[in-house]
């Protein structure tokens, strides 16, 4: 899938996408929305302050993908605590940080995914040559955030932790059931890389 972002006048970005590419990105964004879940005040839409003052969870998510999207702030798994007390303090700090930040992080990720879906849905009918998606600078940043989240989610499902994992997965035989997910991961990486380049010009 050769589509790459290019800069547009005014600081935006554009990319040509065919109907298959549009369908894949939209489907992944919808799945991401379902994974992130609704906001804390979804059941109280008459109270506009409910979500603003709602506290988030203090425990890390059980789903490994959500743990990747919402990692602990003070618990780097590469750093071994010097004592049980230090470990307990890190956990307490992480829980407190999560309680007051995770709702906002989730809301931002939802907004980015919804922006992706909205801009794709607003495209003119896709012809034989596809359609050109044109993004404003703000939409470009939302797309960048969503592409990053999609790659983190797919990478977590594929157990990708570094570039060596990607290289090994790239060499998987075509009949391996993980191959389509690997190809989507690599393709989204190319889109993300070219979008970053447009925002830096």
Q: For each successive 10 residues of the chain (201 residues), what is the average pLDDT?
A: 82 92 96 86 54 60 84 64 66 66 86 97 77 95 97 91 75 87 92 94 78
Domain membership of residue 52 (yes or no) is no
Domain membership of residue 99 (yes or no) is no
Q: Which residues contact 192 (CB under 8 A, 6 or more apart)?
A: 144, 147, 148, 151
DSSP reduced 3-state for 188: helix
pLDDT score recorded for residue 150: 97
Burial class (CB in 10 A: 0-12, 13-18, 19+), 91: middle
Domain membership of residue 53 (yes or no) is no
β-strands 12-17, 131-135: how paired?
antiparallel
Element spanning 134, H or E: strand 131-135
Which domain covers residue 129, as residue numbers? 6-45+105-200
Place of tokens 């995914």: 113
Whole-angstrom CA distances from 21 to 4, 25, 107, 136 are: 12, 6, 26, 20
Return phi, psi of residue 88, to 5°.
-65, -40
Domain membership of residue 19 (yes or no) is yes
As a whole number of angstroms, the distance between CA 37 and CA 66 comes to: 10
pLDDT score recorded for residue 1: 38
pLDDT score recorded for residue 124: 79
As a whole number of angstroms, the distance between CA 69 and CA 86 comes to: 25
pLDDT score recorded for residue 77: 57
Domain membership of residue 90 (yes or no) is no
pLDDT score recorded for residue 169: 78
pLDDT score recorded for residue 17: 93
Domain membership of residue 131 (yes or no) is yes
Number of domains in the chain: 1
Tokens describing residue 30: 């919808």
């Amino acid at each position: 899938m050769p589509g790459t972002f290019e800069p547009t006048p005014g600081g935006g970005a554009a990319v040509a996408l065919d109907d298959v590419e549009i369908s894949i990105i939209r489907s992944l964004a919808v799945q991401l929305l379902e994974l992130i879940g609704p906001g804390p005040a979804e059941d109280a839409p008459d109270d506009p302050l409910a979500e603003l003052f709602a506290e988030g969870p203090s425990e890390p998510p059980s789903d490994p993908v959500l743990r990747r999207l919402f990692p602990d702030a003070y618990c780097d798994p590469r750093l071994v605590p010097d004592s049980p007390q230090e470990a307990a303090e890190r956990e307490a700090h992480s829980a407190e940080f999560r309680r007051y930040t995770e709702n906002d992080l989730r809301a931002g990720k939802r907004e980015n995914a919804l922006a992706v879906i909205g801009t794709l849905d607003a495209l003119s009918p896709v012809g034989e040559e596809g359609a050109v998606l044109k993004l404003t600078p703000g939409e470009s940043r939302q797309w960048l955030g969503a592409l990053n989240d999609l790659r983190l989610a797919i990478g977590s499902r594929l157990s990708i932790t570094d570039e060596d994992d990607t290289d090994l997965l790239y060499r998987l035989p075509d009949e391996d059931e993980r191959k389509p997910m690997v190809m989507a991961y690599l393709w989204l990486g190319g889109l993300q890389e070219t979008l970053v380049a447009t925002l830096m010009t």
